[in-house]
């Protein structure tokens, strides 16, 4: 049973300068999405952060919205929220895999994203995972984004010299 194990939780990071996150929510299952948002917003605010919210039609649109926001707005990080419940067709696998893959690819490009898109077998599993007083996966997704933001700020603009870089003096 998923709720019976003990899990280690990292201490909430502390920030010296303000941070702002975008929460991208797919409210297809509105009650579940609302609970995820409650947990996420509480975690962000507990870290002293501010957040904006945008709703998209479904989980497949979450990575696209994050990608658009990254190009057009100034956010330190992102929280992806939604729920996919297994149905009678293979559409479940497509939505789960492609939304997760999109978020992962954005993360590998350097975006700080906490993935709180639930992928469950039934509504009861979703309710337990979304409940801020139970598994609080929305809060966990926000915490993941906060930890990635803290890591990015810790490393700053450090860059390793990899490959060929033309010197400015050779361009004269």
**Which backbone phi and psi does 5 adopt, to 5 degrees?**
-80, 160
Whose CA is closest to 127, among 43, 63, 31, 19? Answer: 31
Clarify whether 91 is annotated catalytic: yes
Which of these is catalytic: 7, 8, 91, 147?
91
Q: How far is CA 84 from the centre of its chain?
A: 15
Tell me how far apart the alpha carbons of residues 121 and 73 are, in angstroms, rounded to a whole number: 35
Under a CB-based contact definition with an 8 Å cutoff, are residues 82 and 61 in contact? no
In the structure encoding, which two tokens stand for residue 109, read together?
């490009």
Residues designated catalytic? 91
């Amino acid at each position: 049973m998923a709720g019976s194990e003990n899990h280690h939780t990292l201490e909430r990071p502390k920030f010296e300068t303000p941070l702002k996150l975008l929460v991208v929510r797919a409210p297809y299952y509105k009650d579940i999405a609302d609970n995820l948002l409650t947990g996420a917003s509480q975690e962000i605010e507990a870290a002293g952060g501010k957040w904006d919210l945008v709703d998209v039609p479904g989980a497949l649109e979450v990575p696209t919205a994050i990608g658009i926001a990254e190009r057009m707005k100034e956010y330190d990080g992102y929280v992806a929220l939604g729920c996919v419940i297994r149905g009678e067709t293979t559409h479940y696998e497509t939505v789960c895999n492609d939304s997760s893959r999109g978020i992962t690819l954005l993360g590998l490009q350097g975006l700080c994203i906490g993935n709180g898109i639930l992928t469950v077998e039934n509504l009861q599993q979703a309710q337990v995972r979304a409940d801020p007083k139970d598994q609080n996966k929305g809060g966990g997704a926000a915490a993941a984004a906060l930890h990635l933001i803290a890591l990015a700020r810790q490393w700053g603009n450090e860059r390793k010299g990899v490959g060929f870089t033309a010197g400015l003096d050779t361009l004269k």
